[in-house]
Copies of this chain bind each other. A is one copy, B any other.
Amino acid sequence: MIATAAETVEPAAAPEKELPVRDRAQTQGRIFQAGRALLAEGGFQAFGVNAVARKAGCDKQLIYRYFGGLDGLVDAIGEDLAGWVTQHVPEDQGGRFLLTYGDLMERLAELYADALRADPLMRRILVWELSESSPHIARMADARAKGIAQWIERMRGSLTPPKGADTVALNAVIIAAVQQLVMAAETSGSFAGLPLKSQKDWGRAVSAVARMARAAYA
């Protein structure tokens, strides 16, 4: 059999099968990334010791050794995501001026939607949170809630909501709507008759949320 270009063996390095690197930190990192990727791609259903090990290209035993099992791995991923809101929802106001508290929440809804739409992993975790309740998951949700509260506090400046407005409840409703729409978009591409595929669809959705936010805080 004549060796084709693809079959020729590289003279210096033979990258055909990455043999074990024997570097704990790196292997640990590969397991971690495999876990993240698996979670992002298939959700918590596709998440298991065997699957992670397969994807990381190492023995599952290492997951137990380095992370103390799946729970530990989840914890690690969760901790890594603790500052997600701060890292993914920008605080500069991109040239827009926020004149009212309603404008502020409108902007938050828009930025939050963008951030979620761009992050499959976080979307999967949102779904996970609804499917079961475990300490890890609860912690992640808490961290997100705190992050959002901080965002508002930092961006608020001197803006204040109108008297008598239940900001906690109103903001929760806004965030809830955004999350639900983003999640539904992924799996079904629409929600309650509203298509959620194209960028244009999203424009529609976001401006509806924006309208409600502005109106509620008027």
Q: A residues bordering B, Cβ < 8 Å?
A: 43, 45, 127, 129-133, 138, 141, 144-145, 148-149, 165-166, 168-177, 179-181, 183-184, 186-188, 191-194, 204-205, 207-209, 211-213, 215-216, 218
Residues of B contacting A181 with CB < 8 Å?
172-173, 176
Most chain B CB atoms below 10 A, which of A131, A169, A208: A169
Q: Which of B173, B194, B213 interacts with A169 by CB under 8 Å?
A: B194
Most chain B CB atoms below 10 A, which of A133, A174, A179: A179
A188 pairs with B145, CB closer than 8 A: no
A148 and B192 CA atoms in complex are apart in Å by 8
Number of copies of this kind of chain in the complex: 2
Closest to A149 in B: B193
A184 and B183 CA atoms in complex are apart in Å by 13
B205 pairs with A169, CB closer than 8 A: yes
Residues of B contacting A184 with CB < 8 Å?
129-130, 176
Closest-CB distance, A191 to chain B (whole angstroms)? 5
Most chain B CB atoms below 10 A, which of A181, A186, A215: A215
Closest-CB distance, A196 to chain B (whole angstroms)? 9
* Between-chain CB contacts (< 8 Å), 15 pairs: A45-B132, A131-B187, A133-B188, A144-B192, A166-B207, A169-B208, A170-B208, A171-B193, A172-B181, A173-B205, A175-B192, A176-B176, A176-B180, A177-B180, A212-B213
